[in-house]
Each structure stands twice: as structure tokens, then as C-alpha cells.
A = this chain, B = another copy of it.
Amino acid sequence: LHGRIRIRRFLQLMKHVLIILGAIFLLITIICIQLVRASSHRIPKRTHKDLVEGGVVSMCSPAFNRILPPASGERPLIIIITPTHARPTRLADMIRFAQTLMHIHDIVWLVIEDGDALSDPVYRIIRRTQRAYCYFGVKRNRALPLRGWTARDFALKFLRKRFAEFSNRAIVYFADDDNTYDIRLFDMFIRKVKTVGVWAVGIVAQRPVEAPRVNNDSVVDGWLTDYAPKREWAIDMAGFALNLNIILQRKNANFIDCKVSSPEPCLLSRLNLTKQDLQPFGHADYPRDILVWHTKSSHLIKKGLMKRSYGYLIE
């Protein structure tokens, strides 16, 4: 009998021990999850020295470092490349663009500063989007005609290394911070690009609109513009997006080797593209809405007054 009681007591004890152990295990798990979460809110400062040449600083979100190629059933990723530089209207322009991107999911935002110093107000705007991002500072290549070229050339190199495994599961769009984007542009046009997508851009080249001209077979055979419409590429950077695959396959395409022309025909001709490769969007819609506008903010500030900012942040 004593033996049985002992066994019973032992089992009772074991039961309590197991319950306590279980509770402790649960507690540790919860604490671990909280710790992991808390640490993922910290923004790691790291330089992508392994990915790109020297002279580049970068701040990437934890979400960026976790990004993997989408499976074939999933929506492809949109990689947005934004060259930017300090100017009085920059923070306002970046706020508007960031708030536009906050409506779009499954995107990566690569912001490339003109110079190797990152701007803290810009960084905070980017971070508030809660999107996957990298903010780079890239020293300008003075041999290139305009400042945006260095940034876009850096972006092509970075894409070929960081997104090498993404094949056709991502689309690349060069998006300036002062343009106006209708949020429908991203999922109705860009997300569907299999090769090169093209569409109308409003208020560009001192004209109300420039757009691809589409023939009855839905093939682009020219450009709707009265300014040199016979040009091979009468298109603004905001008017096209590229399937990543095209950039990965044409490894030599860059913004360096054709310094004389504007950047759009430079890139598109070096990618070995013809108008027949283009996918036109929006030309058959009714009404014919423009979904991206090449807007510019006026610099309304009198010279010599830039320093009167009373501790408020302005660039």
C-alpha cells in the first residue's frame, strides 16, 4: 500500500513538475518572440561592401534583408529606384511619394542619394513607409552628364547582384521623387510587365502628354508627341518599367557608355530592345487616364533666406 501511495504521490509530483515546466517553456517562447520582434525594429546600419564597389553607404530595412524571390503563384515584386538630391522642396516631394508608396504592397524601394552623406529627415520618411527599403549614398561620377545617371547605374549593378536569383519575378521601375503617381499605375500597369511596359506620361517635355502610339495589332509603332516623334525612344523614365529578367540577361547594359544622349534611349538601346518588344498599357482604356505625371515643385524661396528655418527641418 505504502508503495502505491508513493507511486501516486510521485505521479502527482511529476504532473505538477510537467505543468510548471510547460508554463516556463511557454513563458520563454513568448519572451523570445518579443525579443526577436523588438530587435527587428532596430535598423541595422550596414554597408553593402560585398555587393558594390567602395564609397557607398547604405541603410536597409530588416524586411529588405529577408526578401526572397516570389514563388510562381505569387505576385511579382516591384523594385522602385529613386535617385534623389537635397533641395528646398525635397522633403515635401519625398513625403508625397512615400505616402503614395504606402498604398502599394509587395514593393522594394531603393532610394539613392546624390553623394555619400545620407539625410536623416529623408531616412525617417523612407522608414515610416514600413516598406522594404535600402537607402544608399553613392558618390557622383562626375564623368556622367547628370546626377541621376550615377544613381541609376549603381542601381543596375546592385540589382544584378542582390536580385540575381529573382529571374522574371520582379519588375524594375525608375521613379523620381517629384513625379506624381496615381496608385493604380503600380498594380494595373507595372505589376503586369513581362518584358517592357510603356504608358503615357503627363506634363513632360513641355507638352501636356507623351504616349506610345499603338497600331491595330496592339503593337507600339511610334510615339504620340509632336516633338521629334520619329525618335527611336520618345519616352520619359516615368513612362516605362522593365521585367528584371531583361536587366539580368543583358549584363552589359548601363548608363555609362553613351554619355551624349538622354538616359532613356541610352538604357533602352543598350538593352537591345525594339519597339516590338514593348507592352503598351492604358491606350485602350476609357477614359484615357494619365497615371503618372512628370511634375516639378517650384522653388519659391528667395535667395539668401534659406537659413531662416528657426530649427525646423528643411534642406
Contacts and interface: CB of A to CB of B under 8 A. Distances in A.
Interface of A: 88-89, 91-93, 95-96, 99-100, 102-103, 120-121, 180-183, 200, 202-204, 206-209, 211, 224-226, 287-290, 293-298, 300-302, 305-314
B180 A96 contact: yes
Point out which of A102, A182, A306 has the most chain B C-beta atoms below 10 A from its C-beta.
A182
A209 B100 contact: no
A209 B312 contact: yes
A93 B309 CA distance: 26
A119 to B, nearest CB: 12
A305 B204 CA distance: 12
Contact of A300 (B89, B92, B203, B310): B203
A34 B103 CA distance: 28
B297 A226 contact: no
Chain copies in the assembly?
Answer: 2
Given A96-B180, A211-B310, 6 more contacts: A95-B293, A99-B100, A99-B183, A207-B305, A288-B311, A290-B314
A204 B204 CA distance: 26
A74 B288 CA distance: 42
A300 B183 CA distance: 23
A187 to B, nearest CB: 14
Given A99-B99, A99-B100, A183-B99, A88 B302 contact: no
A297 B297 contact: yes
A205 to B, nearest CB: 9
B305 A289 contact: no
A314 B88 contact: no
Contact of A200 (B203, B295, B301, B312): B312
A296 B293 contact: no
Contacts of A93: 180, 295
A291 to B, nearest CB: 9
A208 B301 contact: yes
24 contacts: A91-B293, A92-B180, A92-B203, A93-B295, A96-B100, A96-B180, A99-B100, A102-B103, A120-B287, A121-B287, A204-B300, A206-B300, A207-B302, A207-B308, A208-B307, A208-B308, A211-B312, A226-B305, A289-B313, A294-B300, A295-B297, A296-B297, A297-B298, A298-B298
Nearest to A286: B311
Determine which residue in A208, A211, A226, A302 has the highest number of CB atoms from chain B within 10 A of its CB, and name it: A208
Nearest to A292: B92
A225 B293 CA distance: 34
Given A207-B305, A305-B208, A312-B202, A293 B92 contact: yes
A290 B302 contact: no
Contacts of A297: 295-298
Contact of A182 (B95, B103, B294): B95
